[in-house]
Amino acid sequence: MSGGIYLLEVHRILRPGGFWVLSGPPVNYENRWRGWNTTIEEQKTDYEKLQALLSSMCFKLYAKKDDIAVWQKSSDNSCYNKLSDPDAYPPKCDDSLEPDAAWYTPLRSCVVVPNPKHKGTGLMSVPKWPDRLHTAPERISDIHGGSTSALKHDDSKWKAGMKYYKKLLPAIGTDKIRNVMDMNTVYGGFAAALIEDPLWVMNVVSSYAANTLPVIYDRGLIGTYHDW
Protein backbone atom coordinates (compact mmCIF):
# COMPACT_ATOMS: atom_id res chain seq x y z
CA MET A 1 0.00 0.00 0.00
CA SER A 2 3.05 2.29 -0.41
CA GLY A 3 3.02 2.99 3.30
CA GLY A 4 -0.55 4.22 3.00
CA ILE A 5 0.52 7.42 1.23
CA TYR A 6 -2.39 7.33 -1.22
CA LEU A 7 -4.88 6.84 1.60
CA LEU A 8 -3.27 9.77 3.40
CA GLU A 9 -3.96 11.88 0.32
CA VAL A 10 -7.59 10.68 0.34
CA HIS A 11 -7.76 11.75 3.98
CA ARG A 12 -6.32 15.18 3.13
CA ILE A 13 -8.90 16.03 0.50
CA LEU A 14 -11.95 14.58 2.26
CA ARG A 15 -14.11 16.82 4.41
CA PRO A 16 -14.56 15.90 8.08
CA GLY A 17 -17.36 13.35 8.05
CA GLY A 18 -16.64 12.42 4.42
CA PHE A 19 -16.75 8.87 3.10
CA TRP A 20 -14.23 6.62 1.36
CA VAL A 21 -15.53 3.58 -0.52
CA LEU A 22 -13.51 0.51 -1.42
CA SER A 23 -14.89 -2.13 -3.79
CA GLY A 24 -12.59 -5.08 -4.30
CA PRO A 25 -9.67 -6.78 -2.55
CA PRO A 26 -9.30 -7.29 0.32
CA VAL A 27 -12.99 -6.58 1.07
CA ASN A 28 -15.00 -9.80 1.29
CA TYR A 29 -11.79 -11.80 1.13
CA GLU A 30 -13.55 -14.66 2.97
CA ASN A 31 -15.58 -15.44 -0.15
CA ARG A 32 -13.43 -14.00 -2.93
CA TRP A 33 -9.84 -14.98 -2.18
CA ARG A 34 -9.83 -18.00 -4.53
CA GLY A 35 -10.27 -15.76 -7.56
CA TRP A 36 -7.51 -13.35 -6.52
CA ASN A 37 -4.57 -15.74 -7.01
CA THR A 38 -3.68 -15.51 -3.33
CA THR A 39 -4.41 -17.19 -0.01
CA ILE A 40 -7.09 -16.43 2.54
CA GLU A 41 -4.38 -15.79 5.13
CA GLU A 42 -2.69 -13.14 2.96
CA GLN A 43 -5.96 -11.37 2.26
CA LYS A 44 -6.96 -11.49 5.92
CA THR A 45 -3.63 -9.90 6.83
CA ASP A 46 -4.06 -7.20 4.16
CA TYR A 47 -7.56 -6.40 5.40
CA GLU A 48 -6.42 -6.13 9.01
CA LYS A 49 -3.53 -3.85 8.00
CA LEU A 50 -5.94 -1.67 6.03
CA GLN A 51 -8.32 -1.44 8.98
CA ALA A 52 -5.49 -0.56 11.35
CA LEU A 53 -4.15 2.14 9.02
CA LEU A 54 -7.56 3.72 8.49
CA SER A 55 -8.24 3.65 12.22
CA SER A 56 -4.93 5.42 12.90
CA MET A 57 -6.05 8.11 10.40
CA CYS A 58 -9.36 8.58 12.27
CA PHE A 59 -11.59 6.65 9.89
CA LYS A 60 -14.31 4.32 11.15
CA LEU A 61 -15.96 1.50 9.25
CA TYR A 62 -19.39 2.89 8.37
CA ALA A 63 -20.90 0.00 6.40
CA LYS A 64 -19.90 -3.23 4.72
CA LYS A 65 -21.86 -5.42 2.33
CA ASP A 66 -20.59 -8.06 -0.07
CA ASP A 67 -17.60 -6.58 -1.98
CA ILE A 68 -18.11 -3.00 -0.81
CA ALA A 69 -16.87 -1.35 2.37
CA VAL A 70 -17.40 2.28 3.37
CA TRP A 71 -15.29 4.18 5.89
CA GLN A 72 -16.12 7.61 7.33
CA LYS A 73 -13.59 10.26 8.28
CA SER A 74 -14.00 11.56 11.82
CA SER A 75 -15.82 14.85 12.37
CA ASP A 76 -14.24 15.19 15.80
CA ASN A 77 -10.70 16.58 15.90
CA SER A 78 -10.06 15.05 19.31
CA CYS A 79 -9.38 11.78 17.50
CA TYR A 80 -6.13 13.29 16.23
CA ASN A 81 -4.74 13.88 19.74
CA LYS A 82 -3.13 10.44 19.58
CA LEU A 83 -0.87 11.69 16.78
CA SER A 84 1.08 13.73 19.34
CA ASP A 85 2.78 10.50 20.37
CA PRO A 86 6.26 10.60 18.76
CA ASP A 87 5.93 6.90 17.91
CA ALA A 88 2.56 7.30 16.18
CA TYR A 89 2.25 6.23 12.56
CA PRO A 90 1.30 7.96 10.46
CA PRO A 91 2.52 11.12 12.21
CA LYS A 92 0.79 14.49 12.18
CA CYS A 93 1.87 16.81 9.36
CA ASP A 94 3.96 19.90 10.00
CA ASP A 95 1.54 22.80 10.54
CA SER A 96 3.88 25.22 8.78
CA LEU A 97 2.97 23.75 5.38
CA GLU A 98 -0.21 24.80 3.58
CA PRO A 99 -2.48 21.71 3.79
CA ASP A 100 -4.39 22.59 0.60
CA ALA A 101 -1.25 23.05 -1.51
CA ALA A 102 -1.37 20.48 -4.31
CA TRP A 103 0.25 22.03 -7.40
CA TYR A 104 3.52 20.12 -7.84
CA THR A 105 3.49 19.38 -4.15
CA PRO A 106 4.78 15.87 -3.31
CA LEU A 107 2.48 13.54 -1.43
CA ARG A 108 3.31 13.47 2.25
CA SER A 109 3.34 10.43 4.53
CA CYS A 110 1.60 12.22 7.38
CA VAL A 111 -1.94 13.09 8.51
CA VAL A 112 -3.29 16.57 7.79
CA VAL A 113 -5.42 17.49 10.78
CA PRO A 114 -8.50 19.54 9.77
CA ASN A 115 -8.26 23.19 10.74
CA PRO A 116 -10.30 23.52 13.96
CA LYS A 117 -11.28 27.12 13.15
CA HIS A 118 -13.26 25.97 10.10
CA LYS A 119 -16.11 24.21 11.84
CA GLY A 120 -18.45 24.85 8.92
CA THR A 121 -16.52 22.76 6.39
CA GLY A 122 -17.60 19.36 7.72
CA LEU A 123 -19.95 17.22 5.69
CA MET A 124 -22.86 17.83 8.05
CA SER A 125 -22.09 21.53 8.54
CA VAL A 126 -21.99 22.75 4.94
CA PRO A 127 -25.30 24.34 3.87
CA LYS A 128 -27.51 22.15 1.73
CA TRP A 129 -27.79 22.60 -2.01
CA PRO A 130 -28.70 25.03 -3.53
CA ASP A 131 -28.28 27.37 -0.51
CA ARG A 132 -24.54 26.68 -0.35
CA LEU A 133 -24.05 28.07 -3.88
CA HIS A 134 -24.77 31.61 -2.73
CA THR A 135 -23.44 31.35 0.83
CA ALA A 136 -19.96 32.73 1.49
CA PRO A 137 -17.96 29.79 2.94
CA GLU A 138 -15.88 30.17 6.10
CA ARG A 139 -12.71 29.53 4.16
CA ILE A 140 -13.12 32.68 2.08
CA SER A 141 -11.56 34.53 5.02
CA ASP A 142 -8.29 32.67 4.36
CA ILE A 143 -7.94 34.38 0.97
CA HIS A 144 -6.34 37.82 0.75
CA GLY A 145 -9.20 40.23 0.10
CA GLY A 146 -11.78 37.48 0.43
CA SER A 147 -15.09 38.34 2.06
CA THR A 148 -18.83 37.88 1.74
CA SER A 149 -19.11 41.18 -0.13
CA ALA A 150 -16.32 40.15 -2.53
CA LEU A 151 -18.17 36.93 -3.37
CA LYS A 152 -21.47 38.75 -3.87
CA HIS A 153 -19.76 41.29 -6.11
CA ASP A 154 -18.22 38.50 -8.20
CA ASP A 155 -21.61 36.80 -8.50
CA SER A 156 -23.45 39.96 -9.53
CA LYS A 157 -20.74 40.83 -12.05
CA TRP A 158 -21.07 37.47 -13.76
CA LYS A 159 -24.86 37.45 -13.57
CA ALA A 160 -24.93 40.74 -15.50
CA GLY A 161 -22.18 39.56 -17.83
CA MET A 162 -24.01 36.37 -18.77
CA LYS A 163 -27.05 38.33 -19.92
CA TYR A 164 -24.78 40.09 -22.40
CA TYR A 165 -22.98 36.91 -23.48
CA LYS A 166 -26.27 35.10 -24.10
CA LYS A 167 -27.27 37.86 -26.51
CA LEU A 168 -24.01 37.36 -28.40
CA LEU A 169 -24.23 33.57 -28.28
CA PRO A 170 -27.87 32.43 -28.03
CA ALA A 171 -26.75 28.78 -27.96
CA ILE A 172 -25.76 29.26 -24.31
CA GLY A 173 -28.58 27.79 -22.29
CA THR A 174 -29.51 25.22 -24.94
CA ASP A 175 -28.36 21.64 -25.40
CA LYS A 176 -25.92 22.77 -28.08
CA ILE A 177 -23.37 23.78 -25.44
CA ARG A 178 -22.91 21.27 -22.64
CA ASN A 179 -19.32 21.60 -21.42
CA VAL A 180 -17.83 24.97 -20.47
CA MET A 181 -14.54 26.00 -18.86
CA ASP A 182 -13.85 29.13 -16.85
CA MET A 183 -10.13 29.39 -17.51
CA ASN A 184 -9.38 31.99 -14.83
CA THR A 185 -11.98 31.80 -12.11
CA VAL A 186 -11.89 33.42 -8.70
CA TYR A 187 -14.91 32.32 -6.68
CA GLY A 188 -16.87 30.43 -9.34
CA GLY A 189 -19.22 33.31 -10.13
CA PHE A 190 -19.35 32.40 -13.82
CA ALA A 191 -20.49 28.86 -12.99
CA ALA A 192 -23.01 30.19 -10.46
CA ALA A 193 -24.50 32.47 -13.12
CA LEU A 194 -25.08 29.44 -15.37
CA ILE A 195 -26.42 27.11 -12.70
CA GLU A 196 -29.93 26.98 -14.18
CA ASP A 197 -28.68 26.14 -17.67
CA PRO A 198 -28.27 22.54 -18.96
CA LEU A 199 -24.47 22.51 -18.83
CA TRP A 200 -21.62 22.08 -16.41
CA VAL A 201 -18.66 24.37 -15.81
CA MET A 202 -15.10 23.35 -14.96
CA ASN A 203 -13.60 26.13 -12.84
CA VAL A 204 -9.85 26.57 -13.32
CA VAL A 205 -7.76 28.45 -10.77
CA SER A 206 -4.35 29.71 -11.85
CA SER A 207 -1.53 28.05 -9.94
CA TYR A 208 0.09 31.50 -9.74
CA ALA A 209 -2.95 33.15 -8.13
CA ALA A 210 -4.52 32.82 -4.70
CA ASN A 211 -5.86 29.33 -4.11
CA THR A 212 -9.63 29.84 -4.17
CA LEU A 213 -10.47 26.19 -4.86
CA PRO A 214 -11.64 25.60 -1.25
CA VAL A 215 -14.28 28.32 -1.73
CA ILE A 216 -15.34 26.83 -5.06
CA TYR A 217 -15.69 23.37 -3.52
CA ASP A 218 -17.58 24.70 -0.51
CA ARG A 219 -20.08 26.30 -2.89
CA GLY A 220 -20.77 22.87 -4.38
CA LEU A 221 -18.90 23.53 -7.63
CA ILE A 222 -16.01 21.66 -9.25
CA GLY A 223 -12.57 22.98 -10.09
CA THR A 224 -8.90 22.34 -10.70
CA TYR A 225 -5.51 24.05 -11.03
CA HIS A 226 -3.66 25.01 -14.20
CA ASP A 227 -0.68 27.18 -15.09
CA TRP A 228 -1.88 28.66 -18.38
Instruction: Among 125, 149, 184, give the residue marking a domain's end.
Output: 125
**Distance in angstroms (rounded) separating the CA atoms of residues 48 and 40:** 12
pLDDT, one tens digit per residue, over 23-46 is 999 999 999 999 999 999 999 999
CATH number for the domain including 144? 3.40.50
Q: Are residues 218 and 207 in the same domain?
A: yes
* Type and span of the H or E element at 225: strand 223-226
Q: Are residues 101 and 147 in the same domain?
A: no
Q: Are residues 8 and 106 in the same domain?
A: yes
Q: What percent of the chain has pLDDT over 90?
A: 86
Mean pLDDT of 167-175: 94
Q: Are residues 154 and 96 in the same domain?
A: no
The pLDDT value recorded for residue 189 is 98
Q: Are residues 30 and 118 in the same domain?
A: yes
**Distance in angstroms (rounded) separating the CA atoms of residues 119 and 121:** 6
CA of residue 92 relative to chain centroid, distance: 19
Amino acid at the residue 213:
L
CA of residue 149 relative to chain centroid, distance: 25
3-state DSSP assignment of residue 110: coil
The pLDDT value recorded for residue 145 is 93
Q: Are residues 119 and 216 in the same domain?
A: no
Q: Are residues 54 and 7 in the same domain?
A: yes
Instruction: Provide the domain limits for residue 25.
Output: 1-125
For the stretch 139-142, contacts whose Cβ atoms lie closer than 8 Å and that sit 24 or more positions apart, written own/partner, are: 139/214, 139/215, 139/218, 140/187, 140/215, 142/214
Q: Are residues 100 and 180 in the same domain?
A: no
Q: Are residues 94 and 150 in the same domain?
A: no
The pLDDT value recorded for residue 101 is 83
The set of residues, in sequence order, having a beta carbon less than 8 Å from that of 220 and lying 6+ positions away, is 129, 130, 132, 133
- The domain total for the chain is 2
CA of residue 93 relative to chain centroid, distance: 18
Residue 93 has pLDDT above 60, yes or no: yes
The pLDDT value recorded for residue 94 is 82
